[in-house]
Amino acid sequence: MTTDRPLSGIRIADFTQVFAGPFCTHQLVLLGAEAEKIEPVGVGDILRKYKHGGDQMGGTSGSFISINAGKKSIELDLKNARGREVAERMVATADVVVENFRAGVMTRLGFSWERCRELNPRIVYASLSGYGADGPMKHFPAYDHNMQAMSGMMTLNGAEKDPYMKVGFPLIDSFAGYTAAFAILAALRQRDRTGEAQYVDIAMLDASIVLMTSMVVPYMNAGRAPPRTGNRGYSGSPTADVFAARNGQLSLGANWPYQYEALCQALGLPELIDDARFATRDSRIANEIELRTLLEAKLQQEDAEFWEDHLNAAGVPASKVRTIAEAVALEQLQMRNLFQSVPVSHGDERSVKILNNGFRAEWNGVSDPSPLLGEHTDEILSRLGFNQQAIESLRAEGVVGRGVSDAAAAGS
Amino acid sequence: MTTDRPLSGIRIADFTQVFAGPFCTHQLVLLGAEAEKIEPVGVGDILRKYKHGGDQMGGTSGSFISINAGKKSIELDLKNARGREVAERMVATADVVVENFRAGVMTRLGFSWERCRELNPRIVYASLSGYGADGPMKHFPAYDHNMQAMSGMMTLNGAEKDPYMKVGFPLIDSFAGYTAAFAILAALRQRDRTGEAQYVDIAMLDASIVLMTSMVVPYMNAGRAPPRTGNRGYSGSPTADVFAARNGQLSLGANWPYQYEALCQALGLPELIDDARFATRDSRIANEIELRTLLEAKLQQEDAEFWEDHLNAAGVPASKVRTIAEAVALEQLQMRNLFQSVPVSHGDERSVKILNNGFRAEWNGVSDPSPLLGEHTDEILSRLGFNQQAIESLRAEGVVGRGVSDAAAAGS
d(CA A236, CA A325): 29
Q: What is the DSSP string of A36-95?
A: EEEE-TTT--GGGG--GGG-EETTEEHHHHHHHTT-EEEEB-TTSHHHHHHHHHHHHT-S
Question: Which three-class secondary structure state does DSSP give residue A310?
Answer: helix
Are B336 and A203 in contact (CB < 8 Å)? yes
d(CA B207, CA A364): 15
Q: What is the DSSP string of B331-375?
A: HHHHTTT-EEEEESSTT-S-EEEEE--SEE-SS----SPPPPTTT
Question: Which three-class secondary structure state does DSSP give residue B163?
Answer: coil
pLDDT of residue B81 exceeding 50, the answer is yes
Are B53 and A222 in contact (CB < 8 Å)? yes
d(CA B182, CA A31): 11
Name the closest residue on chain A to residue B192, using Cα atoms: A6
Q: What are the CA-CA distances from residue A373 to residues A43, A70, A98, A404 (Å)?
A: 8, 13, 19, 8
pLDDT at A323: 97
Are A137 and B215 in contact (CB < 8 Å)? no
pLDDT of residue B405 exceeding 70, the answer is no
In chain B, which residues have their Cβ closer than 8 Å to the Cβ of A145? 231-234, 240-241, 251, 253
**What's the fold here for domain B11-212+334-411?**
Rossmann fold (3.40.50)
Question: pLDDT: is B309 or A60 the higher one?
Answer: B309
Name the closest residue on chain A to residue B183, using Cα atoms: A359
* pLDDT tens digits, one per residue of B199-228: 999 999 999 999 999 999 989 988 878 889
CA distance A138 to chain B (A): 8
Q: B279 exposed, middle or buried (CB, 10 Å; 0-12, 13-18, 19+)?
A: middle
In chain B, which residues have their Cβ closer than 8 Å to the Cβ of A366? none
Do B74 and B374 contact (CB within 8 A), yes or no?
yes
Q: Which residue among A63, A202, A234 places its CB closest to the CB of B214?
A: A63
Dihedral (C-alpha) B86, B89, B91, B92: value to the nearest 10 degrees?
170
Query: Which strand (E) or helix (H) includes residue B62?
Result: helix B62-68
Query: Which strand (E) or helix (H) includes residue A98?
Result: strand A96-99
Q: Which residue among B183, B234, B335 places its CB closest to the CB of A144?
A: B234
In chain B, which residues have their Cβ closer than 8 Å to the Cβ of A150? 251, 319-320, 322, 327, 330
CA distance A378 to chain B (A): 30
Are A174 and B213 in contact (CB < 8 Å)? yes
- Domain A242-328: assigned CATH number: 3.30.1540.10
* Amino acid letter, residue B279: A
Are A185 and B187 in contact (CB < 8 Å)? no
CA distance B378 to chain A (A): 30
Q: Which residues contact B43 (CB under 8 A, 6 or more apart)?
A: none
In chain A, which residues have their Cβ closer than 8 Å to the Cβ of B249? 149, 164
d(CA A180, CA A175): 8
pLDDT of residue B61 exceeding 90, the answer is no
Best residue in B56, B145, B345 for a mutation probing chain A (most A CBs within 10 Å): B145
Do B213 and A26 contact (CB within 8 A), yes or no?
no
In chain A, which residues have their Cβ closer than 8 Å to the Cβ of B8? 193
Query: Which strand (E) or helix (H) includes residue A391?
Result: helix A388-396
Are A249 and B157 in contact (CB < 8 Å)? no
Are B353 and A221 in contact (CB < 8 Å)? yes
Do B163 and B70 contact (CB within 8 A), yes or no?
no
Do A199 and B39 contact (CB within 8 A), yes or no?
no
Q: Which residue among A168, A319, A356 places its CB closest to the CB of B149?
A: A319
In chain A, which residues have their Cβ closer than 8 Å to the Cβ of B358? 179, 202, 206-207, 209-211
In chain B, which residues have their Cβ closer than 8 Å to the Cβ of A203? 336, 359-360
Strand B318-320 relative to strand B248-252: parallel, antiparallel, unpaired? antiparallel
Alpha-carbon dihedral sign for residues A393, A398, A401, A405:
positive
In chain A, which residues have their Cβ closer than 8 Å to the Cβ of B222? 53-57, 62
In chain A, which residues have their Cβ closer than 8 Å to the Cβ of B62? 217-218, 221-222
Alpha-carbon dihedral sign for residues B128, A366, A351, A371:
negative
Are B224 and A55 in contact (CB < 8 Å)? yes
Report the DSSP beta bridge partners of residue A341.
A353
Q: What are the CA-CA distances from residue B242 to residues A326, B66, B230, B348 (Å)?
A: 30, 32, 10, 45
pLDDT of residue B407 exceeding 50, the answer is no
pLDDT of residue B59 exceeding 90, the answer is no
Report the DSSP beta bridge partners of residue B124.
B96, B198
Best residue in A30, A161, A221 for a mutation probing chain B (most B CBs within 10 Å): A221
d(CA B370, CA B367): 10
Do A123 and A117 contact (CB within 8 A), yes or no?
yes
B173 catalytic residue (yes or no): yes
Q: Which residues contact A120 (CB under 8 A, 6 or more apart)?
A: A91, A92, A93, A94, A197
pLDDT of residue B412 exceeding 80, the answer is no
- DSSP letter, residue B70: T
In chain B, which residues have their Cβ closer than 8 Å to the Cβ of A133? 360
Dihedral (C-alpha) B227, B229, B230, B231: value to the nearest 10 degrees?
-140
pLDDT string in tens for chain A (412-residue length): 778 999 999 999 999 999 999 999 999 999 999 999 999 999 999 999 887 644 556 678 888 988 999 999 999 999 999 999 999 999 999 999 999 998 899 999 999 999 999 999 999 999 999 999 999 999 999 999 999 999 999 999 999 999 999 999 999 999 999 999 999 999 999 999 999 999 999 999 999 999 999 999 989 988 878 889 999 988 889 999 999 999 999 999 999 999 999 999 999 999 999 999 999 999 999 999 999 999 999 999 999 999 999 999 999 999 999 999 999 999 999 999 999 999 988 888 889 999 999 999 999 999 999 999 999 999 999 999 999 999 999 999 999 998 655 444 444 3
Do B74 and B36 contact (CB within 8 A), yes or no?
yes
Count residue pairs from A and B with Cβ separation < 8 A: 540
- Mean of pLDDT values over B80-108: 97
* pLDDT tens digits, one per residue of B216-263: 998 998 887 888 999 998 888 999 999 999 999 999 999 999 999 999
What are the start-end ranges of the E strands in B92-240?
96-99, 124-129, 198-203
Q: What are the CA-CA distances from residue B361 to residues A200, A288, B30, B31, B224 (Å)?
A: 5, 48, 11, 10, 41
* Amino acid letter, residue B354: I
**CB-facing half-sphere around the CA of A218: CA atoms within 13 A:** 23
Do A98 and A15 contact (CB within 8 A), yes or no?
yes
pLDDT at B409: 46
In chain B, which residues have their Cβ closer than 8 Å to the Cβ of A206? 333, 336, 338, 358-360
Name the closest residue on chain A to residue B155, using Cα atoms: A323
Are A185 and B182 in contact (CB < 8 Å)? yes
Q: What is the separation of C-alpha B125 from the centre of its chain, rounded to a whole number of angstroms? A: 20
pLDDT at A55: 53
Strand A11-14 relative to strand A34-39: parallel, antiparallel, unpaired? parallel
Name the closest residue on chain A to residue B2, using Cα atoms: A190
Q: Which residue among B170, B205, B332 places its CB closest to the CB of A205?
A: B332
CA distance A342 to chain B (A): 12
Are A63 and B146 in contact (CB < 8 Å)? no
Q: Give this complex's ipTM.
A: 0.97
Are A203 and B359 in contact (CB < 8 Å)? yes
Q: Mean of the per-residue pLDDT values for chain B? A: 94
Are A144 and B188 in contact (CB < 8 Å)? no
d(CA A337, CA A90): 33
Are A331 and B132 in contact (CB < 8 Å)? no
Best residue in B66, B220, B320 for a mutation probing chain A (most A CBs within 10 Å): B220
pLDDT at B347: 86
Are A186 and B7 in contact (CB < 8 Å)? yes
d(CA A123, CA A198): 6
Name the closest residue on chain A to residue B141, using Cα atoms: A317
d(CA B205, CA A327): 9
Domain limits, chain B: 11-212+334-411, 242-328
- Which backbone phi and psi does A318 adopt, to 5 degrees? -155, 130
d(CA A204, CA A170): 11
d(CA B336, CA A8): 32
pLDDT at B57: 66
d(CA A311, CA A104): 55
pLDDT at A1: 72
Report the DSSP beta bridge partners of residue A249.
A244
Q: What's the Rg (C-alpha) of chain B?
A: 26
Do A346 and A369 contact (CB within 8 A), yes or no?
yes
Are B187 and A136 in contact (CB < 8 Å)? no
Annotated catalytic residue, options B45, B173, B241, B378: B173
Q: Which residue among A154, A324, A360 places its CB closest to the CB of B216?
A: A324
d(CA A147, CA B57): 31
Best residue in A24, A234, A237, A363 for a mutation probing chain B (most B CBs within 10 Å): A234
- Mean of pLDDT values over B186-190: 98
Q: What are the CA-CA distances from residue A376 to residues A88, A156, A324, A382, A405 (Å)?
A: 17, 45, 35, 10, 11
Q: Which residue among B185, B323, B338 places its CB closest to the CB of A206?
A: B338
Are A152 and B189 in contact (CB < 8 Å)? no
